[in-house]
Amino acid sequence: MRKTFPGVFLVALIVSVTGCSTSQSLDASSSRTLSPGAQGQFECADRNDNRFIDQTELIYLRQCGVGENLKCEGVPETATERPPASDFELGRRMLQVSDVDRDDRISKLEFRAHCSSADQGE
């Protein structure tokens, strides 16, 4: 009968842990962040700083640069003090498209996923 040394298990553990810290995981973590334009849009719309775009904040999406095509292109230089009520419809459409977990708010992850899919649609 052959004996297995504890060192073999230790080496296997080190290899498996080291495999999790390759440059691929760095690339994956960097893809989890918003682009600078989308980050600015998200922060612009998140008026209460709770890290979500709530239903009460949907009206700000157009003012923050999300257009009719629902693309994430960055915050415009100029914005009106109070957005028109018609901007709520655009925000509602963005919520319908982006709110994957159906909690009636847009998280950063949902916003990033929507922005990425909108950018790939070109």
Task: Give CA 70 to chain center in angstroms.
Answer: 14
**Is 45 contained in some domain?**
yes
Range of the domain at 101: 36-120
Q: What total number of domains does the chain contain?
A: 1
Query: Is 114 a residue whose pLDDT tops 70?
Result: yes
Query: Is 51 a residue whose pLDDT tops 90?
Result: yes
At 50, the pLDDT band (50, 70, 90 cuts) reads very high
Query: Is 6 a residue whose pLDDT tops 90?
Result: no
For the record, the structure tokens of 52 come out as 């979500």
96 against 24, higher pLDDT: 96
Question: Which CATH number goes with the domain that contains 91?
Answer: 1.10.238.10
∠ CA 64-65-68 to the nearest 5 degrees? 125
**Is 26 contained in some domain?**
no
For 84-110, what is each residue's pLDDT tens digit?
A: 777 888 899 999 999 999 999 999 999
**Is 65 contained in some domain?**
yes
**Is 104 contained in some domain?**
yes
**Where do the H-state alpha helices sit in 1-122?**
6-19, 23-30, 36-45, 87-98, 108-120
Residues 6+ apart with CB under 8 A from 120: none
**Is 28 contained in some domain?**
no
* pLDDT for position 43: 94
**Is 4 contained in some domain?**
no
